[in-house]
Amino acid sequence: MDAQRTIRVLVVDDSAFMRKAISHILNDAEDLEVVATARDGLDAIKKVTDYQPDVITMDIEMPRLEGLQTLGYIMSECPTPVVMLSAYTETGGVTTMKALEYGAVDFVCKPSGPISLDLQKVAVELVNKVRMAAQVDVRRLSFVEVEKLAKAPARATSRRLAIERQVVVIASSTGGPRALYEIIPKLPGDLPAAILIVQHMSQGFTKSLAERMDSASELKVKEAEDGDVILAGQVYFAPGNYHMEVVREGDQEVIRLNQEPTRHSVRPAADITLETAADIYGQNCLAVVLTGMGHDGAAGAKKVKDAGGRVLVQDEATSVVFGMPKSAIELGAADMILPLPAFAEQITRQIRENKIKQHSN
């Protein structure tokens, strides 16, 4: 998109106050213009057709036609980048994850409920996500079918020497949940490695994402907790608003969470997890850098490579946003640049080949 072009936005919310507050924030940005507002889903569908906006901001809970149904219609009939606005509750978290599966580009968490008088707290985030959404190719936002699996009983995990343990660290941001659904559920339940995922996401929502991913995966998936022992066959999501470090305590590796300052303006930052994993696991660390805005993950991936580990990076053609993969490639960190459908098989191959190599040494 031409940097000089004004991004035209449709604001959808059932609250007149919220429509006004969102419009004020967006119109204050010189490159954004709210061309229309809509009070519910039915009104939104009409105005998408009438105004053909570049981006839509949409509330999730609305009368007559709620956000998910409206999003589903828009993405099938008149595909347009959508940024959802969600108040975090347990139900709201699940619905927001469904919205990402339906094709929403991203979401912004309302800071204090459905009607947030303090919306200005997330003004910068909202503006940046609308700008980013305007650059997205909506053809990469097709519906993601999440199938629930009948999970096998958890197997007892043997304690192995630290040198035999392996870890996969995945960095992702915008478009990340969609990409992760293409990878994690396709990995075998007996994968001889742990997986640490740093997905840039607001506090509370990472738990909903982990739970939905767990229901679709052979591997055990959870939101990481401070002190979790890192075990093969398990997936750990960094909680929103917490950095996730890997430390060695005795003869085991453990997750430590902290709220140290942001890095690259994000917390959790993938660089922190990658750097600490590289220190502990060395050549037994596999880094994966997926779609996302910004530079997070590049420096950490380079450290993994320098420590003897391997780095897989998503290609531009399948990335919703190519910022993070591009940064890793430009830094010289990438060993392989792959389309999204190739990742599950390649991760499995790399882990199993490395295990064979360990036992042959």
pLDDT by position in tens, the chain (length 361): 445 689 999 999 999 999 999 999 999 999 999 999 999 999 999 999 999 999 999 998 888 888 889 999 999 999 999 999 987 666 678 889 999 999 999 999 988 877 888 899 999 999 999 999 999 988 888 778 777 665 555 544 444 433 458 999 999 999 999 999 999 999 999 999 999 999 999 888 999 999 999 999 999 999 999 999 999 999 999 999 999 999 999 999 999 999 999 999 999 999 999 999 999 999 999 999 999 999 999 999 999 999 999 999 999 999 999 999 999 999 999 999 999 999 999 999 999 988 877 766 6
By residue range, what is the domain housing residue 250? 162-360
In this structure, what are the phi and psi dihedrals at residue 141, rounded to the nearest 5 degrees?
-120, 40
CA distance 60 to 160: 46
- Strand ranges, E, within the chain: 7-12, 32-38, 55-59, 82-87, 106-110, 167-172, 194-199, 220-223, 234-237, 243-249, 252-258, 285-289, 310-314, 336-338
Same domain? 206 vs 302 = yes
Annotated active-site positions, please?
Answer: 173, 200, 296
CA dihedral over 227, 258, 112, 72, signed as positive or negative: negative
Q: Are residues 31 and 134 in the same domain?
A: yes
Kindly state whether residue 327 falls inside one of the protein's structural domains.
yes
Q: Is residue 275 part of a domain?
A: yes
Residue 246 has φ and ψ, to the nearest 5°, of: -110, 130
State the Cα–Cα distance between residues 168 and 191, nearest whole angstrom. 11
Tell me how many domains the chain contains: 2
Compute the distance between CA of residue 346 and CA of residue 312 in angstroms, rounded to an integer: 9
Give me the residues paired with residue 109 across strands: 86
Q: Are 59 and 13 in contact (CB under 8 A)?
A: yes
The residue out of 140, 173, 189 marking a domain boundary is 140
Domain identity same for 64 and 166: no
Q: How far apart are the first and last CA of the chain?
A: 53
Q: Note whether 226 and 100 are same-domain residues.
A: no
302-330: buried (b, 16+ CB within 10 Å) or exposed (e) per residue?
bbbbebebbbbbbbeebbbbbbbbbbbbe
Residue with tokens 């709220």: 259
Distance CA 120, CA 125 (A): 10
Contact between residue 172 and residue 290 where contact means Cβ atoms under 8 Å apart: yes
Residue 89 lies in a domain: yes
Task: Kindly tell me the sign of the dihedral angle through the C-alpha atoms of 8, 13, 17, 18.
Answer: negative
Statement to judge: residues 125 and 254 lie in one domain:
no
Does 232 lie in the same domain as 136?
A: no
Q: Are 292 and 174 in contact, with CB atoms under 8 Å apart?
A: yes
Q: What is the CATH number of the domain that holds 133?
A: 3.40.50.2300
Q: Which residue in the block uniquely carries the two structure tokens 């992760």? A: 180
Q: Is residue 149 part of a domain?
A: no
Q: Say what the pTM is.
A: 0.91
Q: Are residues 243 and 283 in the same domain?
A: yes
Is 156 a member of any domain?
Answer: no
